[in-house]
Structure 1
Amino acid sequence: MPPSLFSRLFGSSPSEFKLQINTPELTVTAQAKESLLLAALNQGIALPYNCRVGGCGECKCRLVSGKVKELTDKSYLLSAEELKQNYILACQSLPKSDVVIEVALRQGQVNHPIVETSARITALKPLTHDILHVQMEAEQPLSYTAGQYAEIVIPDAAESAAGQGRSYSFATAHDPARPHAVDFFIRKVAHGAFTEWLFTKAERGQLLQLRGPYGDFCLRPGDSPLVCIAGGSGLAPVKALLEQAIKDKQGNRPLVLLFGARTKQDLYGLDAIDQIRREWTGRFVFEPILSNEAASSTWAGRKGLITDHLKALLGERLPDYQAYMCGPPPMIDACVEVFTQGGMPASQIFFDKFLDSGHTAHPKP
């Protein structure tokens, strides 16, 4: 049947819809194949979010009217009351009609235009056996806030298995004098097509596609003492956040920095941490904690899980701290539980869960 006749008989499927966010004055165009979250972000509306893969729940919003296609199961993230009130995850919902949502917009902590540009690899430096320092020079200038991340794609169609974008946090504070320079600490993921390519085939001079910045994980202003926790490649945004704090004259706040790793061989970035220590004007405590160091090791530092040491390190002032955490979801979930049980308000807890292909959202059956 000719397409024109099909359209007259059955109607055509529209490729875009209207997305209203809270009020009619805040209405944008949403493509049928992009999530509500991306539709908003691409048009400069700062919906709250962190992971963009249905793993954190930060982008939850109430579907007031319209139809969406939900890509994943949301019940494991939303409460029974939220499900009853028709809450959805904006990052996992594609519009099937014009849509109206209600969401609590965050005010102006992070507000940079999203840039899509090619970027050339300028250096590849192994930091540990499974973490690589990747330095790149973007063709277009890129502004971001420390704590945010970018999506990186191999543009070569031959690398189809790795061609999907992967998200990585910036590993340094933004330098206005070098607006094209970006750095990442990237961990090798078992059976991960992208990192397998990066660790075995990538070379200096190769072009990748970069899009960002994304995320609203960033240092909030104030004078509260800080506890920063990094696990694995989660050191990247924490390091950047602390470098930015020094630039913004917030390095006078008391700081406890915890770095979780498996063994001594998995520790890295210690010179950069020492540089932060030298420039930090407030109280500075740094504790690397090893979870799998051999009993016969000469390691004299702390062992076990980070949660084993939180109360001892923070003491009775635990509720007074602002917490910033980046790393594996189990580590962050366990720390959040200790903090909340210890009386720290949820409004003072900020985190970015590092989700690989094994931690992405639960697909709907």
Structure 2
Amino acid sequence: MESAAAAAAARAFPPFFAESARSSSQSRIPSRPKLSRSPLLSSLSRKIGLRAPPTAVAMSGAAAAAADENPSSKEAKLWGGRFEESVTETVERFTESISFDKELYRQDIRGSKAHASMLAKQGLMDDSDRDKILEGLSEIERLIENGEFKWRADREDVHMNIEAALTDMIGEPAKKLHTARSRNDQVQTDFRLWCRDAIDRIIPYIAHLQVALVTLALKNEGLIVPGYTHMQRAQPVLLQHHLLAYVEQLERDIGRLVDCRARLNFCPLGACALAGTGLPIDRFMTADKLGFSAPMRNSIDAVSDRDFVMEFLSANSIIAVHLSRLGEEWVLWASEEFGFITPSDSVSTGSSIMPQKKNPDPMELVRGKSARVIGDLVTLLTL
């Protein structure tokens, strides 16, 4: 039976099974064929113009010499005390996060300033070193905001970019900044600060939309429109009543963000990698300087959980659903069949082939962009 199966496989895939068919009596598992013997692989290689792997496993002497000039070489390798080889450029490109986490720079600098001030107050850093660190961080923030800061992918992320730039700027004092701090509690602190700042930016936008809806309702006092169920006319309702339904939904959206902010507003600094530090730090000082309600009570919880991000994205996903619903309804109302509203020319687009059309593109895009927020939540939940 096994010989018959091997023969059938050999007929179907001769390049792969030729060698194994000859030795089928010696082994149940066909030996692995050489890929170079595969016509399929050869054909694909010719099609894409592949001559050699993009990155060789071993570097030639010339390549190794060139790597010595590269900032990602052994001398500059981050956290690379035990490594003998430099990271390849392919791995650097795949693992870098600076292209998106540089958005955390304000929060990272704010957290580092608070940490440096605490270290000096506790006698873990000289006041002169603290002052140099604070001045250096302020200068880095200025450079970033003016577009003059050079982000480097070989420095992995926003945290190391800022820390390395500070070291280049002020020297030895910068190396004391990471005393009694790990990337674990640092990243968590930055992320909590970012979510808190984002909530503080989002709530006023929702409030402005509420004001706009109330204003629209007041302008149309007494106007009656059909109320629909199952997309069939059901009962007459005041347009005011209909619009104010969205105001109520948005009010609950604000409430969810406020609740989320209160729950995430605790400081992870001091938890370090996992179980705190034996150094005499003052966690209450850093929490207070950063505007947190208090330090987090459990160091493992502080660095290991991201439920505050899930809650933040959940609240935003509900907001997105409400905005999508409003957008879809107004697209429908703007159609010739309904004709309830006529969008202004200033918020409409035309057609490339049908000149009579007036498209409510902004409201359509509200729906489309809302879907991305919901998708981000699902992505986070499945990570």
Larger Cα Rg: Structure 1 or Structure 2?
2
- Relative to the length of structure 2, the TM-score reads 0.25
Higher RCO structure (Cα 8 Å, ≥6 apart) = 1
Q: Per residue, is there more strand in 1 or in 2?
A: 1
Q: Per residue, is there more helix in 1 or in 2?
A: 2
